[in-house]
Structure 1
């Protein structure tokens, strides 16, 4: 059955000599895997640029119930990136987002509100106005509301963490977290990089508590160097 939908590329695996299996989080039918044949050959009609992580697509797909791998009938860019692929800070944040999304959503998972949030956030990351200094922190905090474990406030957040995570910077970290919860990317108060790195570590522990098998984030060292 053919279905029209928007999609966000999560990632892909090479398949055989010139094909790929691409994971796409679609708005209407959730996270799906699609085989794209001969896309890595020099004569390919469908270019690999369409399937880079976080690419926003307009799609027409074949969707058959009970199948694990589907096919794409038509794919075109929904948004052409201007800054994201060419800016190492934005690219680092994008890789972090892809890795954490892979840990948070599973095959067939569908959530219109989450899709709309991510679609808007990715376009924000590609804009000159993006507040890169707090972007990954705001992303993690806002994502919790779509995954079902959003903290109501900083106190509730730290009550769920191991007691020794609060540390001597507890008051300032609580101030930063409150800004992220209430203002998101619109927060404009400046905080030291060391404090933001501590906040990142606390947020990842929070995710590990709430999501089974969340585990280690391999892109974290790169992200920490950019904060």
Structure 2
């Protein structure tokens, strides 16, 4: 049966000579896997592989037979909000890789979650459109995503207490606490002065917090890239 849905491209792997298997977070079906034929063919007249780059926002018509199917197919696909800056800005593209890795490791539900989809879409659009004050985007993204995953952060002190209970050794100084509290309280784009070391420390604390709640999170490979790019 054919269904219309929006989606956010997360990742893909090569499949056979010219196809891919793509992981997409959809508005209607949650996290899903699709096989897409012919997108890597030299005979293709359009660069359709670009539609599956990290965080591309998609309009799709898809085949879904039943919930038991693990791989589905796409009938029609197009980007409904072409990026203006995200693929061309090193900092933004690094943040996008980090976000897609986090989403790929944390999204598990194969069902509709409209508030979560809207949050992801709004976050992607902010990152693409932002001209400044997006250097803390990934920190705020983690803080806000946690609530949709069921372990939201009420206060920074609560976060510190939970880390302490799980024997995390580093304690925040007042500057870090105030900065983290401001990032938690306000929307994307709020200006918060953070040096590189404190920004990395807040990020690492949040990842430890995620690992407390998601055993399968594992290593975040894009973290090293962020350490280099976000100075």
- TM-score range, shorter-chain basis? over 0.9
TM-score (norm 1): 0.94
Cα shift at 1:90: 0.6
Q: CA RMSD in A?
A: 1.5
Cα shift at 1:170: 2.8
Residues in 2 aligned to 1:70 and 1:45: alpha-carbon distance in whole angstroms? 24
SS at structure 1 position matched to 2:186: helix
Residues in 2 aligned to 1:45 and 1:69: alpha-carbon distance in whole angstroms? 26
Cα shift at 1:130: 5.0
Residues in 1 aligned to 2:108 and 2:13: alpha-carbon distance in whole angstroms? 16
- Number of residue pairs aligned between Structure 1 and Structure 2: 226
Question: Does the 8 A contact of 1:18 with 1:37 survive in 2?
Answer: yes
Deviations 1:133-167, CA, capped at 9 Å, x for gaps:
11111111111111111111011110100355443
SS at structure 1 position matched to 2:5: strand
Q: Partner of 2:65 in structure 1?
A: 64
Q: Partner of 1:185 in structure 2?
A: 188
Equivalent of 1:103, from 78, 92, 105?
105
Question: Does the 8 A contact of 2:126 with 2:188 survive in 1?
Answer: no
Cα shift at 1:45: 5.4
Question: Does the 8 A contact of 2:163 with 2:209 survive in 1?
Answer: yes
Structure 2 regions of 5+ residues with no counterpart? none
Cα shift at 1:13: 0.8
Cα shift at 1:110: 3.6
Query: What does residue range 21-60 of structure 1 map to in structure 2 within 5 Å?
Result: 21-44=21-44, 47-60=48-61
Q: Partner of 1:156 in structure 2?
A: 158
Question: Does the 8 A contact of 1:7 with 1:24 survive in 2?
Answer: yes
Question: Does the 8 A contact of 1:39 with 1:45 survive in 2?
Answer: no
Residue 85 of structure 2 corresponds to residue 87 of structure 1 = no
Deviations 1:180-214, CA, capped at 9 Å, x for gaps:
11103242131212111110111110001011111
Cα shift at 1:71: 0.7
Question: Does the 8 A contact of 2:60 with 2:78 survive in 1?
Answer: yes
Residue 220 of structure 2 corresponds to residue 208 of structure 1 = no
Residues in 2 aligned to 1:30 and 1:190: alpha-carbon distance in whole angstroms? 36
Q: Partner of 2:178 in structure 1?
A: 175
Residues in 1 aligned to 2:59 and 2:201: alpha-carbon distance in whole angstroms? 38
Residues in 1 aligned to 2:221 and 2:188: alpha-carbon distance in whole angstroms? 24
Q: Which moved more, 1:27-36 or 1:127-136?
A: 127-136
